[in-house]
Amino acid sequence: MKIRAAVLRRSPVEPPFQASRPLSIEDLELASPGNDEILVRIGAAGLCHSDLSVINGDRPRPMPMALGHEAAGTVEAVGPGIHDLAPDDHVVMSFMPSCGHCLPCAEGRPALCIAGADANRKGTLLSGARRLMCEEVPIHHHLGVSGFATHAVVSRHSAIRIDPDIPFTHAALFGCAVLTGVGAVVNTCRAQPGQTVAVVGLGGVGLAAVLGAVASGAERVVAVDLARDKLEIALSLGATDAFLASDLDVVEQIREATKGGVDHALEMAGAVKAFDLAYRITRRGGTTATAGLANPSSQFAIPAVSLVAEERRVLGSYLGSCVPSRDVPRFIGLYRRGRLPVDRLLSSTGPLEGINAAFDRLHAGQVIRHVIDFEGA
């Protein structure tokens, strides 16, 4: 079938993207779903820094590639072997498909699936297939989703069924921002009621982490960013304290305010300076976690003695250490009860044709989440 999709044909590309136009809106040929795959009509897809990192070259991927990994939509057809999804079901896509039988999957850690990571690196679906073509040339899939498109074929293991009454513009955010941000708090750090949590870097994922910290019952939720407007947003979402990362004595300010540092500090900016700040504001015996995807060449140095003498923990968090089939429904449950107001992360919506200008706004920090709204187009 013919579809429209945003295709990246070269990387790195420098901003302003409205001028350099890294993404072209093209007519592609989408093959029918194969075994254990589904065809989804995309309802909405969010712009994320993980997409931006492919455009700017921080995350090298094979070209050409149809971008977009945070998406939700309606099942239109199912391939052979699928009996638990049907046409008209609504689904959220996860950007890490899981095979279910490698060692990480067997340990209950599908975010670390070996086959899924290999497929994502190669730009294929979990099966190893590519279902997108342009004039007989294969187009690579982005993280098994390629959601900046009118339709997508994805692995069954990339999709989680949801209730049909949730707007797609909200549902899409659960596929990346919410899983990664909220999951980092509740799964990776295992934050407990009454503890203190700091979030360094207040993009969509960072502000989702603020929501997760509030929902987890943290006594103090400390927001840290370079932008005052992001700090104001964090306070409106339930953060109890806000600090400018550019203040020369910001570490001392936070440690004094929290009586020696926070129980859990999460770095969400994808920058070594932010990671260093997060480490230095973590208390003795506390946890520093990072879900920010820094440039692969970046290095982080830790004072080795502090790991022993202060019993510190440093953790990585990918997909919020989530089990998507478990965590998407429970996070949606919190959203329904008003405890996780994910809709407040949505800054703006727009058509697919405006995607390059929207990435300029994301790059400039002018939006939390901009969502391509295919139903409203």
Helices (H), the chain: 17-20, 49-55, 103-106, 114-122, 168-171, 177-183, 204-215, 228-236, 250-257, 272-280, 304-309, 324-336, 355-363
The two beta strands, 137-141 and 65-66, are parallel
Quote the pLDDT of residue 295.
84
d(CA 249, CA 172): 38
Strand partners, 41: 74, 151
Q: What is the pLDDT of residues 188-219, one digit of tens each?
A: 999 999 999 999 999 999 999 999 999 999 99
Q: Which amino acid is at 173?
A: L
Q: Is residue 20 over pLDDT 80?
A: yes
pLDDT number for residue 294: 86
pLDDT digits (tens, 9 = 90+) for 87-102: 999 999 999 999 999 9
Q: What is the pLDDT of residues 152-201, one digit of tens each?
A: 999 999 999 999 999 999 999 999 999 999 999 999 999 999 999 999 99
Q: Residues 317-376: pLDDT tens digits?
A: 999 999 999 999 999 999 999 999 999 999 999 999 999 999 999 999 999 999 999 998
Cα 320 from Cα 210, distance rounded (Å): 13
What residue segments make up the domains of the chain, in order of their start?
A: 2-176+322-373, 190-316
Helix, strand or coil, per DSSP, at residue 29: strand
Q: Is 88 helix (H, G, I), strand (E, B) or coil?
A: coil
Quote the pLDDT of residue 363: 95
- Write out pLDDT tens, residues 238-283: 999 999 999 999 999 999 999 999 999 999 999 999 999 999 999 9
CA distance 350 to 374: 8
Architecture of domain 2-176+322-373: Alpha-Beta Complex (3.90)
Predicted confidence (pLDDT) per residue in 36-57, tens digit: 999 999 999 999 999 999 999 9
Compute the half-sphere exposure of residue 337: CA atoms within 13 Å on the CB side of its CA: 8
Are domains 2-176+322-373 and 190-316 of this chain identical in fold?
Answer: no
List, as one string, the DSSP characters of 104-171.
HHHTT-GGG-HHHHHHHHHT--TTS---EEETTEEEEESTTT--SBSEEEEEGGGEEEE-TTS-HHHH
pLDDT value of residue 377: 60
How many residues are listed for the chain in this entry? 377
pLDDT, position 217: 98
Residue at 118: amino acid letter = D
Residue-level pLDDT at 266 = 98
pLDDT band at residue 296 under the 50/70/90 scheme: confident
- 62-77 pLDDT, tens digit per residue, is 999 999 999 999 999 9
- On the question of pLDDT at 307 being above 70, the answer is yes
Average pLDDT, the chain: 97
First to last CA, the chain: 20
- For the CA atoms of the chain, what is the radius of gyration? 20
Residue 226 has pLDDT above 90, yes or no: yes
Percentage of the chain beyond pLDDT 70 is 100
Place of tokens 């992001």: 230
Protein fold of 190-316: Rossmann fold (3.40.50)
